[in-house]
């Protein structure tokens, strides 16, 4: 699957880097992808071979990180549920992560139909993730 993804990215003249991640068979970071030109990760989880996950991360603003870190467990759960509900409404899988000392919201689209994972499906998913990234970023600004 990695070879196909790399070939498709090269065909579309997109620059990308390999990312080391022990949880994934391969992971690629596309520097500028989708209609908003955001960084997008494409990977195949070792636990789910044959599945292609395309995702983007929204970095919380400093004031949001400070507020989030001040939350108790109940408030964090409430916030996580609010983010999850919003992401479900835009058909995205989400996860709150801590990376490089920053709180981030990751949004993902999963391609799991092995027979239909092709160049067109991957680029449609990249555009979809780019759009979901922007919607989630706006949601965070408005509600948090």
CATH of residue 28's domain is 3.30.1460.10
Residue with tokens 């929204």: 58
Residue 11: pLDDT over 80: yes
pLDDT in tens, 36-84: 999 999 999 999 999 999 999 999 998 998 999 999 999 999 999 999 9
Mean pLDDT of 92-111: 93
pLDDT above 80: residue 115 = no
DSSP secondary structure letter of residue 47? G
- What is the predicted pLDDT for the residue at 144? 82
Q: What integer pLDDT is reported at residue 143 of this predicted model? A: 85
* Domain boundaries, position 126: 2-143
Count up the domains in the chain and report the number: 1
Q: Where are the alpha helices (DSSP H) in 12-118?
A: 62-69, 73-89
Percent helix, strand, coil in the chain, to 5, is 45, 30, 20
Cβ-count burial 43-79 (b if 16+ within 10 Å, e if not): bbbeeeeebbbbbbbbebeeeebeebeeeeeeeeeeb
- Indicate the SS3 state at residue 51: coil
Q: What pLDDT is stored for residue 76 in this prediction?
A: 93
- Average pLDDT of every residue of the chain: 93
Given a cut of 80, is residue 139 above it in pLDDT?
yes
- pLDDT tier at 113 (50, 70, 90 boundaries)? confident
Give the pLDDT of residue 55.
97
For residue 66, what are the CA distances in angstroms to 22, 45, 91, 137? Answer: 30, 31, 28, 17
């Amino acid at each position: 699957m990695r070879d196909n993804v790399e070939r498709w990215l090269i065909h579309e003249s997109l620059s990308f880097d390999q990312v080391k991640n022990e949880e994934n068979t391969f992971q690629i970071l596309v520097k500028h992808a989708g209609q908003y030109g955001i960084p997008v990760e494409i990977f195949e989880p070792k636990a789910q071979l044959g599945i292609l996950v395309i995702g983007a991360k929204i970095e919380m603003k400093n004031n949001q990180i400070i507020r989030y870190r001040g939350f108790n467990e109940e408030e964090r759960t409430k916030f996580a549920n609010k983010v999850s509900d919003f992401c479900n409404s835009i058909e995205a899988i989400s996860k709150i992560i801590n990376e490089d000392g920053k709180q981030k919201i990751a949004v993902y689209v999963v391609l799991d139909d092995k027979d239909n994972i092709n160049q067109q499906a991957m680029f449609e998913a990249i555009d979809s993730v780019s759009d979901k990234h922007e919607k989630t970023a706006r949601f965070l600004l408005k509600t948090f």
